[in-house]
Amino acid sequence: MAFDRVVLVGGTRPEFVKLHPVALALCGAGVPVALLTTNQHRSSAMRDTFLEQLAWPCAVEALPVSAQDTLQLFAEILTHLPRYLRPGDLVMVEGDTTSVLAASLVANKLRRPLAHLEAGLRSYDLRMPEEHNRRMCDHIADYLFAPTEFDAAHLRDEKVPGNVFVVGNTVLDAVRQNVARLDDAPKIGEGYVLVTLHRQENVDQVGFLREVVRFLRSTSLPCVFPVHPRTRDKLEAAALWSSVSDLSHVRLLEPLDYLAFLAAVRDARVIVTDSGGVQEEATAPELRRPVVVLRHSTERVPAIEARYSVLAPPNAEKLLGLVTDLSWFQPKGSSPFGDGYSADAIARLLTGAQRLAA
């Protein structure tokens, strides 16, 4: 399929982290690239820091989207994105957000080739909006870049019509490219539990939040908790914020910038998270930290199978056991998510496809 330019469309912090290595690799291969942000994340801590801290080698533009609510956001992206696309553009999206689904549908309706980065992930948990988004995108994408053979097998089972390639996950490229910059990042401590939580199916449940608070109140380990804006809102709404803010061993922080966060991962004893990207980046050889996945299921199964991470239901006692006794952390081999050169593979595949089409 021929294209003149690759337009990366991204809306949230993990999309910026994972698209950045692709922008570098494509620009390095002489392919014109642009980044369009959808404003799904629009605060300084959740967006601007990722646009400023990562040096983007291409033009960066923001769609004039102002909605907060999911459906309004979706509608505004559908309305505005077409004006930013040219006839020879290939659209690339990453992951499973509302922005991904909206941009995929625009590409499909305008008959632009569509590439999906991180294709084939499945949690089989249909309570997650992300599961619906990634499935729909995979079924209309032309190029599907799956991180692992495990993910590619889902795509083959589902008989997706596009071309499937196993390339690893670019989150490891991002760690490799930025790890040298961590030497200047301040240390937030040692031997702490790093906590990140934001998934809707978790933090929207008061019962879940109560277990997290019970865990934080009962552990004697120091904890560092950069709080996602959604999680802070939910803790406050459930009148639970004060139950954690008064604990001297728990440091509640604003969301960290990317480099500060990587440094926080590197120095953590163990990470407790429901984040997808954190499950992956903790397997990077430069970080290699144990991850307790605070969810009922995960689509990052290869990390569980390789014993980099373990699934934990939301139960304070269970969590306490897993962060105290780390004997479950016995990582087998190198990261299941590739070698940190995924973006180069993607650039080679796309430029190869372009040559064939010429």
Instruction: Indicate if 116 belongs to the active site.
Output: no
Residue (275 or 354) nearer to ligand UDP, CB: 275
For residues 276 and 171, what is the distance between their CA atoms, to the nearest angstrom?
Answer: 11
Angle at 32 between CA 30 and CA 37, to 5 degrees: 135
For residues 115 and 103, what is the distance between their CA atoms, to the nearest angstrom?
Answer: 11
Of 54, 77, 75, 74, the closest CA to residue 64 belongs to 77
Q: Which two tokens stand for residue 29?
A: 């291969």
- Going 299 to 303 to 306 to 307, the CA torsion angle's sign is negative
Of 81, 80, 37, the closest CA to residue 56 belongs to 37
- 84 close to 36: Cβ distance less than 8 angstroms: yes
For residues 66 and 84, what is the distance between their CA atoms, to the nearest angstrom?
Answer: 16
> Least distance from C-beta 49 to ligand UDP, angstroms?
8
Indicate which residue of 20, 116, 198, 228 is catalytic: 198
Binding site for ligand UDP (CB under 6 A): 13-14, 17, 171, 196, 198, 226, 255-256, 258, 261-262, 275-278, 281
Q: How far is CA 309 from the centre of its chain?
A: 16
End-to-end CA distance of the chain: 8
**Catalytic residues, which ones?**
198
